[in-house]
Amino acid sequence: MELFYRNRRRAIWAAALESKVPHSLSLWLAGVILMLSSACYAESHSWLAPCAITITPDETTLYVACVRTPAVLALPASRGAISKAFPLPGQPTGFAISENGLIYGTCAGYKGFISVIDLTNGTIKTNLPARPGACAPLLNPATHQLFVCNQFDHSLSVFDLSGGQELKRIPVGREPVAAALTPNGRGLVVANLLADGPADAAVTTVSIIDAVSLTLRTNLALPSGGILPRGVAISPDGRWAAVAHQRAQFNVPATQVEMGWMNAAALTLIDLETLSRFATVLLDSPDRGAAGPWAVAWTNDKLLITHAGTHELSVINAPALLTKLSSGEVNEDFSFIDAFRQRIALPGQGPRAMVVRGDQVFIASFFTDTINRVTLSEKPVVTATWQLTPNDPTDLAREGERLFNDASLCRQGWQSCASCHPDGRADGLNWDLLNDGIGNPKNTKSLLLSHQTPPAMSLGIRDTAEHAVRSGLRNILFALRPEAEARAIDAYLKSMQSYPSPHLVAGGLSPAALRGQKVFTMAGCAQCHPAPLFTDKKRHGVGTANTHDRPGGLFDTPTLVEAWRTAPYLHDGSAATIQDVLTTKNPQDQHGRTSQLTAEQLADLAAYVLSL
C-alpha cells in the first residue's frame, strides 16, 4: 500500500511540475495527499537524509530539507517531532525561507528548478527554472533578490523575486556549493568545491561578488592544497569571511596519515576589506584528525564548524583567535587551535547542516536522520537529540555510503574515502599512492561505474574494484576493517547513478554534440570507448606516459560517462580540458585520430564527450 501511494505521489508531483496551466486543482490534490502526519511520515520513509536546516525568526519552528525523501519538514524547535511535511517534486539541494512565509527550495536535475512553497497551505506557488546543480539558495531581503549557486554550471544566478525572473548569471569558480551574504547585503562570498586547471597547477577559489552591481570582484585562491570548501560564514561586523575546507598534501607520497600527512581540516579567514587571504589555521589535533569540515556559522563571539567525517562540532572563540592572528602569529601547527577551540562529539553521523539562534545550535546529521541541539555556554553541551526515523542497517548501499564518508574508519580520523572522492567522484588532484610504488603520482579517478568497468586504478593494477576497495582501506586509510564494511562500500559504489550532463539540451544531445557523435566514430574513439559504458575495459599505450612512468606503460581505458565533471584528464591530470586531450595531449593520434580534424570538428567532438 505504501508503494502504491509513493508512486501516486510521484506521479502527481511530476504532472504538476510539467504542467503549463496554473497550479490549481492538481497542486491542491498533491497537497492533500502529501501533507502527512509526523507518525505516518516517519514510519513510511526509511531514510530522510537532511541536507539543510533553518529556524523561524520567532525560534519556534525548525525546517529541514531532506534529500532521499524529497521534502521540507517542519519540527517544533522544543521537541523535534515532525509536525508537517512539504514534499518537493525533485531532490532538494537547499532552501531559504522568506519573512512572508515562502520556501525557496532548489532541486537537482539536468535543468534544475526552484520550487516556491507557501508554508500556510503547503502548495507550490510556482517553479522557477534554474541551472544544472542549483543549490544553496540565499535571500537578500533588502533587494528582494534570491542568489542561487549553480554547481554544474559554475555560476551564480540572481533572481528578481517580484517578477520571478533571472536577472543575471555571474561566472564564478568551479562547482559553487555554498554562499554567505554580508550583514549590509552589499557583498556575497561563494565557496567553490573544486580546483580548476591541470592537476599540478590546480587552484580552488572563493568568489567574492558585489551584491549591488552584481559583478564578480575577484576569485581569491585558497592556500595550496585547499580543496572541498563546503561552508562559508561572515562575521557579524562584515569584515571577515570564514571558509572551512580540506588541506590536501597531494605532493608527498601517501605513506601515512598521521599529523595530516595526506589530508587535514582547515579554516581560512578572508579580509573582505582588502580582498585578501588573512590566515589559514588547522582544525585537527596532533593525534586526532577532524575530517570533513562542512557547515560554518559565525555568532557574535563564536565560530562554529561541523565535521561531517568525525561527527563533531568545533566551537571557536572568534575574537581571541582574531586577536592572536592579528598579532602576526600565523601558525599552522596542529596544537595552535586548541587554545581557542572546543570539540563537541555529536550523536549521529554526518553533521552537514547547521542553524544558530542565540545560544542554541541545531545540527542535522545526514546519515542517521538525527537533529542535535547544542547549547552554547562556557562549556557547550548537547542538550537534546531527536531521531527523525529509525536506522535501517539492512539497506546495504545506504550503510556503504555512510561508511564511505566516515573518517572514524581511518587511523586517527584524518580522512575518509570521500576526502579524495567527494560524492564518489574525484578531487582533481594527483596522489602518489602505494598501489604502484612511490614516485609516480596519478590523478584521482571517479568511482562511478568502477565495479562495472574493471580493472581498477590508472595502471589497471587491481583486477577488480572490489580488490581496490579493500586495498584502499588498508593502504590509504591505514586501517584493518571488517569484510562486511568493504561489502557495504561495494554496494554503495555499485548503486551510484550517473548525473545528467549539464551540456544536454532538453535532456538530449545538442546539435553540436550530435555532429560530434559522428566524429567520435570517424576518429576511432569508439573503438576503445564503445557505448554504453564508453570503455573497452582494456589497457593501452596511448602516448601519455611522463617521466615518472615506466617507458611504454599501459593505462586503463577510463569510462567517458560523466567526463564533464571529472577534469583534469589523463592519468597524470595534465589535460585541463577535453579539448586539451584531443589536441595538445594527442600529437601522435594515439588516442583518437584527431590531428586532421578541423577546429569545428574538434569542438563538436568535445561537445559530444562532455554530454555523456
- pLDDT surpasses 60 at 2: no
- pLDDT surpasses 70 at 3: no
Tens-digit pLDDT profile for residues 468-501: 999 999 999 999 999 999 999 999 999 999 999 9
pLDDT at 209: 98
What is the average pLDDT across 286-315? 97
pLDDT at 369: 95
With respect to residue 432, please indicate whether it lies within any of the assigned structural domains: yes
Report DSSP letters for 577-611, one per residue.
Answer: SHHHHHTTT-TT-SSS--TT--HHHHHHHHHHHTT
pLDDT band at 1 (very low <50, low <70, confident <90, very high): very low
Amino acid letter for position 380: P
Tens-digit pLDDT profile for residues 323-363: 999 988 766 789 999 999 999 999 999 999 999 999 999 99
With respect to residue 477, please indicate whether it lies within any of the assigned structural domains: yes
My answer on whether 421 and 473 are in the same domain is yes
Report DSSP letters for 110-156, one per residue.
Answer: SS-EEEEEETTT--EEEEEE--TTEEEEEEETTTTEEEEEETTTTEE
The CA–CA distances, whole Å, from 20 to 7, 15, 268, 508 equal 22, 10, 46, 21
My answer on whether 456 and 518 are in the same domain is no
pLDDT band at 58 (very low <50, low <70, confident <90, very high): confident
pLDDT at 437: 82
Tens-digit pLDDT profile for residues 136-189: 999 998 899 999 999 999 999 999 998 889 999 999 999 999 999 999 999 999
My answer on whether 516 and 489 are in the same domain is no
Cα gap 391→607, rounded to integer Å: 43
My answer on whether 481 and 407 are in the same domain is yes
What is the average pLDDT across 364-380? 95
With respect to residue 272, please indicate whether it lies within any of the assigned structural domains: no
With respect to residue 566, please indicate whether it lies within any of the assigned structural domains: yes
Instruction: Burial-class residue 353 by CB neighbours within 10 Å (0-12, 13-18, 19+).
Output: buried
CATH code, domain with 488: 1.10.760.10
- pLDDT surpasses 90 at 552: no
With respect to residue 209, please indicate whether it lies within any of the assigned structural domains: no
Tens-digit pLDDT profile for residues 5-40: 333 343 333 443 344 333 333 333 334 334 334 444
Higher pLDDT, 265 or 6: 265
Q: Quick one: cell of 119?
A: 508554508
The domain in which residue 550 lies consists of: 511-609
444, 535, 609, 489: CA torsion to nearest 10: -40
With respect to residue 280, please indicate whether it lies within any of the assigned structural domains: no
Please report, rounded to a whole number, the percentage of residues in the chain having pLDDT higher than 90: 77
Give the phi and the psi of residue 215 in degrees, each rounded to 5: -130, 155
Query: Residue 450: which residues within 8 A CB-CB, separation 6 or more?
Result: 456, 465, 468, 493
Q: Quick one: cell of 153?
A: 554550471
pLDDT at 4: 30
User: By mean pLDDT, which of 1-5, 40-44, 209-213, 560-564 is the weakest?
Assistant: 1-5
- pLDDT surpasses 90 at 200: no
570 touches 549 (CB < 8 A): no
> Which H or E run contains 315?
strand 312-317
- pLDDT surpasses 70 at 43: no
pLDDT at 557: 95
- pLDDT surpasses 70 at 228: yes
Listed in sequence order, the DSSP H helices in 457-555 are 465-475, 483-495, 511-522, 525-528
My answer on whether 543 and 602 are in the same domain is yes
Helix, strand or coil, per DSSP, at residue 328:
coil
Cα gap 535→533, rounded to integer Å: 6
My answer on whether 487 and 522 are in the same domain is no
User: Parallel, antiparallel, or unpaired: how do β-strands 555-556 and 539-540 relate?
Assistant: antiparallel
475 touches 420 (CB < 8 A): no
pLDDT at 288: 96
Q: How many CB atoms lie within 10 A of CB 287?
A: 10
pLDDT at 380: 95
Domain boundary among 460, 495, 530: 495
My answer on whether 528 and 570 are in the same domain is yes
Tens-digit pLDDT profile for residues 554-575: 999 999 999 999 999 999 999 9
Tens-digit pLDDT profile for residues 400-459: 999 999 999 999 999 999 999 999 999 999 999 988 888 889 999 999 999 999 999 988
Q: How many domains in the chain?
A: 2
- pLDDT surpasses 90 at 385: yes
Domain boundary among 495, 527, 543: 495
With respect to residue 95, please indicate whether it lies within any of the assigned structural domains: no
My answer on whether 603 and 543 are in the same domain is yes
Query: Residue 38: which residues within 8 A CB-CB, separation 6 or more?
Result: 81, 82, 83
Higher pLDDT, 219 or 12: 219
Average pLDDT of the chain, as a whole number: 90
My answer on whether 490 and 519 are in the same domain is no
160 touches 195 (CB < 8 A): no
Instruction: Burial-class residue 2 by CB neighbours within 10 Å (0-12, 13-18, 19+).
Output: exposed
What is the average pLDDT across 493-522? 95
Q: How many residues does the chain have?
A: 612
My answer on whether 567 and 593 are in the same domain is yes
With respect to residue 568, please indicate whether it lies within any of the assigned structural domains: yes
My answer on whether 476 and 524 are in the same domain is no
pLDDT band at 45 (very low <50, low <70, confident <90, very high): low
My answer on whether 454 and 515 are in the same domain is no
Tens-digit pLDDT profile for residues 93-116: 999 999 888 999 999 876 788 999
Higher pLDDT, 390 or 307: 307
